[in-house]
Amino acid sequence: MFNRIVPASVATATVILSLAVGMGSPAFSQSSAAQHVNVRGTIVSSTDQTLIVRTREGDTVPIVLDKGWMVSGVARASLTDIKPGDYVGIASLPTDDGGDGALEVLVFPPALKGTGEGSYGWDLKPNSTMTNATVADAVKGVDSRTVTVSYHGREKKIVVPDGTPVVTLAPATKADLKPGAAVFVSGEKNAGGAIAAQRVVVGTNGIVPPM
């Protein structure tokens, strides 16, 4: 995005596609040369080639930004707008009654329906899962909404409690990578421990990347 001129709509869609692949594809999770890692935290400093992040675990890590790296922001979305046929990514945890409770919901644009489809282990919290799937049904209850999603011929019901972050991705620029800004970075760690990334999601307008 910074090394070439890309129409905003194309750049945003590309970032969403990259993020979606990171949120659930076994082929993306590990290779013989590098291990996939997600970094969540706040920016300490940034240049055109490097991002220094203080992670949620309290470590300060440098991240090399690969050639052609892209940045996206997050925008608030509404759970009430989600309807059957929409494509979503939902991080969830098992509940005491044997179901799943959402930790966050990412709503994808229609053009990216099917990207990264499936339900896989996720590292937002211990024992959490990321499910990228099509909404089959959405029912509003007294305290929350139960969303039924389908993927690869299977169905999964996820309760989305009131107050659960619901977002979509939005355009952002290098100028948004300011000290103190919250970020979610999908990267690759080599055998020496160095992290490189092509995708950065930054919090804007007070909205923190919840994934």
Q: Assign residue 47 the CATH number of its domain.
A: 2.40.50.140
Q: Is the pTM of this model over 0.85?
A: no
What pLDDT, on the 0 to 100 scale, is given for residue 19? 53
Who wins on pLDDT, 35 or 1? 35
Whether the per-residue pLDDT at 8 is higher than 60: the answer is: no
What pLDDT, on the 0 to 100 scale, is given for residue 141? 65
Strands 166-171, 60-76: pairing kind: antiparallel
90-107: b (≥16 Cβ within 10 Å) or e: bbbbeeeeeebbbbbbbb
Phi/psi at 199 (5° precision)? -130, 130
Structure tokens at 179: 């000290």
Within this chain, do residues 47 and 93 fall inside the same structural domain, yes or no? no
Residue of 72, 66, 84 whose CA lies nearest to 168:
72
Whether the per-residue pLDDT at 24 is higher than 50: the answer is: no
DSSP 8-state class, residue 170: E
Within this chain, do residues 99 and 162 fall inside the same structural domain, yes or no? yes
Chain CA centroid to CA 62, Å = 20
Within this chain, do residues 131 and 88 fall inside the same structural domain, yes or no? yes
**The domain containing residue 162 runs over which residues?**
76-167
- Residue 68 inside a domain? The answer is yes
pLDDT digits (tens, 9 = 90+) for 32-77: 467 999 999 999 999 999 999 999 999 999 999 999 999 999 999 9
- Residue 180 inside a domain? The answer is yes
- Residue 3 inside a domain? The answer is no
Within this chain, do residues 116 and 173 fall inside the same structural domain, yes or no? no
Within this chain, do residues 57 and 43 fall inside the same structural domain, yes or no? yes
- Residue 209 inside a domain? The answer is no
What pLDDT, on the 0 to 100 scale, is given for residue 7? 37
Sequence-distant (≥ 6) Cβ neighbours of residue 153 within 8 angstroms: none
Within this chain, do residues 94 and 162 fall inside the same structural domain, yes or no? yes
- Residue 1 inside a domain? The answer is no
Structure tokens at 22: 């990171």
